[in-house]
Chain A
Amino acid sequence: MHTLEPILAEHPFLKGLRPAQLQVLVGCASNVRLDAGQYVFREGEEANRFYILRAGRVALEVFVPGRGPVVIETVGEGDVLGWSWLFPPYQWHFDARALDLTRAIALDGDCLRRKCEEDHDLGYELLKRFAQVIMHRLQATRLQLLDVYGHAPAR
């Protein structure tokens, strides 16, 4: 039988997890394929998964009345998508739409939260990794807010 373990083990987000920890994740994992244009999730829906992206790209969007969907950020191969499953009220804050044919591993949030409660080592390891992702995105967002290309001559 095929297992998702080698795929998970190779993904940058999970690199270095112990085999036993990966086994636990495999128990909550499933393969997903998204066609270009397909929504991965929508704002306000229940957030009960996160995604390990293997190929393709996904845009995070907010719908702004009068302007239509505004893309906030794109993520792709090697990235993770979604952390709202970690925190109540477990709801997505953005729309996520596949830009290309996208392959990912989905990890079930309910399943994972339960396992993390049972195994705090695993929980801590995952939280550290998510914290790093969140920190990077926050830094990038701050830089985006600076609008560095906006004023004065760029060079």
Chain B
Amino acid sequence: MVPRPWRVLGRRQETRDTFTLELEPVGGGDMRFGPGQFNMLYVFGVGEVPISISGDPARPACLVHTVRAVGSVTAAVCRLRRGDVLGVRGPFGHGWPVAEAAGEDVVIVAGGIGLAPLRPALYHLLAAREKYGRVVLLYGARTPQDLLYAREIERWRGRFDLDVQVTVDAATGGWRGNVGVVTTLIPGARFDPPHAVALICGPEVMMRFTIRELQARGVGPARMFISMERNMQCALGFCGHCQFGPAFVCRDGPVFRFDRIQGMFGVREI
């Protein structure tokens, strides 16, 4: 699969090291994708990285990616400016089970940049809001300055049909929100555990503790979905770079139903 050229239409700084890029296809067209799918972004002369799609699935002509600069390729992506062109292969992978979750409460638990791949799921739920029960977003970040999509979160908080709880690990001064890890939001969150589906993305440790806390509330392992980060190269299930037990993150994931991978996930108590 050959990368297609997309041009940077807009670039917004989210946090100190994280940027959101809006891309348009060079020569027209679009890219239909499901919430939770990812693309391989190729910066010419530097390299290629898997990055989740963080935009609205209902707007396929505008591709949105939120990227944290952690190494050479992601830093190069973050340095791109309006008008620059990069290569895109995708979309790849299995995303969030938003269709299967119809009729259920949906609890989204995001940590740090883990909100990026969950945002398309939230767009989808809000666009078909009447099909779902309660929708809850629990979001944790390191500090108030590390929150992604701050303005949009503010708007979501104003909605009557969405329960948004945000927490940070540490805060000084003007922050009037919650302080504590994201798992502390779970006991008080309003949803009906036997009828809830949980979509979880964040650092692995955070996901592990989130799963425990959700289980303590009575959410079964077949109702929890997590997005696995694993370094990958081909994105087509050939190279084995991202193998996770018998599964390939690129082809079978990145979203997995928890009961299907819990043996490999290192959650000893379960």
Q: Is the interface of B mostly helix, strand, loop or mixed?
A: mixed
A131 within 8 Å of B by Cβ?
A: no
Q: Chain B 174-204, CB within 8 Å of chain A: the 1/0 string?
A: 0111111101100110000000000001110
Interface residues on A, range: 20 to 34
Q: Among the listed B142, B173, B184, which residue makes an inter-chain contact with A68, where contact means beta carbons less than 8 Å apart?
A: B173
A143 within 8 Å of B by Cβ?
A: yes
Number of A-B contacts (CB under 8 A): 89
Q: Among the listed B142, B183, B187, B202, which residue makes an inter-chain contact with A155, where contact means beta carbons less than 8 Å apart?
A: B202
A73 within 8 Å of B by Cβ?
A: yes
Q: How far is the CA of A151 from the CA of B229 in the complex (A)?
A: 14
CB contacts (< 8 Å) of A70 on chain B: these are: 170-172
Cβ contact within 8 Å between B176 and A99: yes
Given contacts A71-B175, A154-B68, contact A140 B203 (CB under 8 A): no
Q: Among the listed A67, A68, A143, A149, which residue makes an inter-chain contact with B141, where contact means beta carbons less than 8 Å apart?
A: A149
Q: How far is the CA of A13 from the CA of B116 in the complex (A)?
A: 36
Q: How far is the CA of A65 from the CA of B181 in the complex (A)?
A: 25
Cβ contact within 8 Å between A147 and B173: no
Min CB gap B248→A, angstroms: 17
Q: How far is the CA of A69 from the CA of B180 in the complex (A)?
A: 16
CB contacts (< 8 Å) of B39 on chain A: these are: none
CB contacts (< 8 Å) of B170 on chain A: these are: 70-72, 144
Q: How far is the CA of A73 from the CA of B183 in the complex (A)?
A: 13
Cβ contact within 8 Å between B180 and A147: no
Cβ contact within 8 Å between B205 and A143: yes
Q: Chain A 33-77, CB within 8 Å of chain B: the 1/0 string?
A: 000000000000000000000000101000000011111111011
CB contacts (< 8 Å) of A149 on chain B: these are: 111-113, 140-142, 146, 169, 202-203, 206
Q: How far is the CA of A136 from the CA of B61 in the complex (A)?
A: 46
A20 within 8 Å of B by Cβ?
A: no
Which of chain A's residues has its CB closest to B141's CB? A149
CB contacts (< 8 Å) of B112 on chain A: these are: 148-149, 154-155
B70 within 8 Å of A by Cβ?
A: yes
Q: How far is the CA of A99 from the CA of B179 in the complex (A)?
A: 11
CB contacts (< 8 Å) of A147 on chain B: these are: 142, 169
Min CB gap A60→B, angstroms: 8
Q: How far is the CA of A148 from the CA of B141 in the complex (A)?
A: 9
A89 within 8 Å of B by Cβ?
A: no
Q: How far is the CA of A68 from the CA of B146 in the complex (A)?
A: 20
Q: How far is the CA of A144 from the CA of B171 in the complex (A)?
A: 12
Which residues A137-152 have CB closer than 8 A to chain B? 140, 143-144, 146-150, 152
Q: Among the listed B52, B68, B146, B183, which residue makes an inter-chain contact with A143, where contact means beta carbons less than 8 Å apart?
A: B183
Min CB gap A142→B, angstroms: 9
Q: Top 7 nearest A-B pairs by Cβ distance?
A: A154-B112, A149-B112, A155-B229, A154-B113, A149-B142, A148-B203, A71-B179
Interface residues of B (CB under 8 A from A): 52, 68, 70, 74, 111-114, 116-117, 140-142, 146, 167, 169-173, 175-181, 183-184, 187-188, 201-203, 205-206, 209, 227, 229
Interface residues of A (CB under 8 A from B): 57, 59, 67-74, 76-78, 99, 140, 143-144, 146-150, 152-155
Task: Contacts A78-B188, A149-B113 known; list 18 others, CB within 8 Å.
Answer: A67-B172, A71-B170, A73-B180, A74-B179, A74-B180, A76-B178, A77-B188, A140-B184, A143-B205, A143-B209, A144-B169, A149-B140, A149-B169, A149-B206, A153-B70, A153-B113, A154-B202, A155-B112
Q: List 14 A-B contacts (CB under 8 A).
A: A68-B172, A69-B172, A70-B170, A70-B172, A71-B179, A74-B178, A78-B187, A143-B205, A144-B180, A148-B203, A149-B111, A149-B169, A155-B203, A155-B229
